[in-house]
Amino acid sequence: MKETLFTVGPVEMFPETLTRGGAQLPYFRTEEFSRIVQECDRDLQALAGAPAGARTAVLTCSGTGAMEATVVNFLAGTDKALILRGGSFGERFCEICADDAIAFDAVEIAPGRALDVGQLEAQNLAGCRALFVNACETSTGALYDLEALGDFCRRHDLYFMVDGISAFLCDPINMEKMGIDALIFSSQKALALPPGLSMIVLSPRLVSRLEGSHPRTHYLGLRRHLADMQRGQTPFTPAVGIILQLHDRLQTLKSIGADASVRRVAALAAHFRNGLGGLPLRIFPERPSNALTALTPLDGSSAYAIYQTLKQKYGLVVTPNGGALRDRVFRVGHMGNIQEHDLDRVLAALQEVMK
Count, residues in the chain: 355
User: Which residues pair with residue 160 across a beta bridge?
Assistant: 131
Check if the beta carbon of residue 157 is closer than 8 Å to that of residue 179.
no
* Contact call for residue 9 and ligand PLP (CB under 6 A): yes
* Contact call for residue 203 and ligand PLP (CB under 6 A): no
The angle, 0 to 180 degrees and rounded to 10, between the axes of the packed helices 303-314 and 340-353 is 110
* Contact call for residue 89 and ligand PLP (CB under 6 A): yes
Q: Which residues in the 129-148 window bind ligand PLP by CB under 6 A?
A: 134, 138
CA-wise closest residue to 141 among 6, 259, 239, 338: 6
**By C-beta, is 49 or 86 nearer to ligand PLP?**
86
Q: Mark the segment that binds ligand PLP (CB under 6 A) among 59-67, 153-161, 262-270, 310-318.
A: 59-67
* Contact call for residue 70 and ligand PLP (CB under 6 A): no
Contacting ligand PLP (CB under 6 A), which of 34, 38, 62, 301?
62
* Contact call for residue 187 and ligand PLP (CB under 6 A): no
Contacting ligand PLP (CB under 6 A), which of 7, 45, 166, 245?
166
User: Which residue, judged by CB position, is nearest to ligand PLP in the bound state?
Assistant: 63
CA-wise closest residue to 6 among 298, 345, 271: 345
Contacting ligand PLP (CB under 6 A), which of 163, 171, 181, 342?
163
* Contact call for residue 186 and ligand PLP (CB under 6 A): yes
Instruction: Give the Cα separation of 196 and 189 in Å (integer).
Output: 11
**By C-beta, is 17 or 64 nearer to ligand PLP?**
64
Q: Mark the segment that binds ligand PLP (CB under 6 A) among 103-111, 163-171, 233-241, 269-277.
A: 163-171
- Residue 117 makes CB contacts below 8 A (sequence gap 6+) with 145, 148, 149, 151, 152
* Contact call for residue 321 and ligand PLP (CB under 6 A): no
Distances 327 to 51, 94, 300, 355 between C-alpha atoms, Å:
43, 25, 9, 18
Check if the beta carbon of residue 225 is closer than 8 Å to that of residue 207.
no
Residues making contact with ligand PLP (CB under 6 A): 8-9, 62-64, 89, 134, 138, 163, 165-166, 186
